Amino acid sequence: MKNIVVFASHNGSDLQAVIDGCREGKIAGRVAAVISNNNDAYALKRAGIAGIDGFCLNSALYPDETLFDRKTLEVLEKYDADIIFLAGYLKKIGPLVLQKYENRIFNIHPALLPKYGGRGMYGMNVHKAVIEAGEEFTGVTIHKVTADYDAGGIVKQAKIPVLKDDTPGTLAARVLELEHRFIVEVLSEICLNENYL
């Protein structure tokens, strides 16, 4: 059983999919802890409801980036993390954590990278850009995390068509629904296959 630590900044519906996937035995792992940079994140409530320890670590508490990084590492070590999964986490990962967990940090992005990634490409911005560009397809990317936003090696992608009458809102909803299935599918492969790590 792999210990998965999930980082989430907001609603945490992807986190919920991972919690459920683990509990239903679809993923050979458990969510060992949840880390958020937002004290009001519903993701932390979800963790509490599931009986999982949640932590808020942010720059208000730790304005010094190195201390922030060290505190994050402390939580990861305490929970013996094997895998870190960023599920809607909007802060960059510090160099200490990146080094210690190299190749074991994954992110889910609501578009087909390398397009529609990078700084500013999050939330509705992504879906707006996809529609404005007239893309026929969009989807979900799970990739490894490096020091730059959305730039690490792609692990797996899933594709869906952009419909003629899609708005950013309808597209976002369909992509998120796909994410909930895809995150479980890919994490279950990652947990079983050491080659991913």
Interacting residues toward ligand GRF by CB under 6 A: 8, 10-15, 87-88, 108-110, 176, 179
Instruction: Output 67 or 147, the one with its CB closest to ligand GRF.
Output: 147
DSSP states of 137-180:
EEEEEEEE--SSTT-SPEEEEEEEEPPTT--HHHHHHHHHHHHH
Q: Taking the complex as a whole, how short is the minimal distance between the CB of residue 130 and ligand GRF, in angstroms?
A: 13
Contacts of 165 (CB under 8 A, 6+ apart): none
CA dihedral 123, 127, 128, 133 (to 10 degrees): 140
Q: Taking the complex as a whole, how short is the minimal distance between the CB of residue 106 and ligand GRF, in angstroms?
A: 11
Active-site entry in 109, 127, 143, 180:
109
Instruction: Output 88 or 152, the one with its CB closest to ligand GRF.
Output: 88
Q: Taking the complex as a whole, how short is the minimal distance between the CB of residue 90 and ligand GRF, in angstroms?
A: 8
Q: What does each C-alpha distance from 62 to 35, 37, 66, 68, 69 come to in angstroms?
A: 14, 11, 9, 5, 9
Rounded Cα distance between 64 and 31, Å, is: 28
Catalytic (active site) residue 127: no
Indicate the burial class of 147 (C-beta count within 10 angstroms; 0-12, 13-18, 19 or more). exposed
Instruction: Output 56 or 70, the one with its CB closest to ligand GRF.
Output: 56
Instruction: Output 77 or 177, the one with its CB closest to ligand GRF.
Output: 177
Rounded Cα distance between 185 and 180, Å, is: 9
- Tallying the residues shown for the chain, one arrives at 197
Residue in the block written with tokens 């629904």 = 177
Q: Taking the complex as a whole, how short is the minimal distance between the CB of residue 11 and ligand GRF, in angstroms?
A: 4
Instruction: Output 13 or 72, the one with its CB closest to ligand GRF.
Output: 13
Residue whose C-alpha is closest to residue 34's, from 81, 70, 2: 81
Residue nearest to ligand GRF (CB): 88
Q: Taking the complex as a whole, how short is the minimal distance between the CB of residue 19 and ligand GRF, in angstroms?
A: 11
* Residues taking part in catalysis: 109
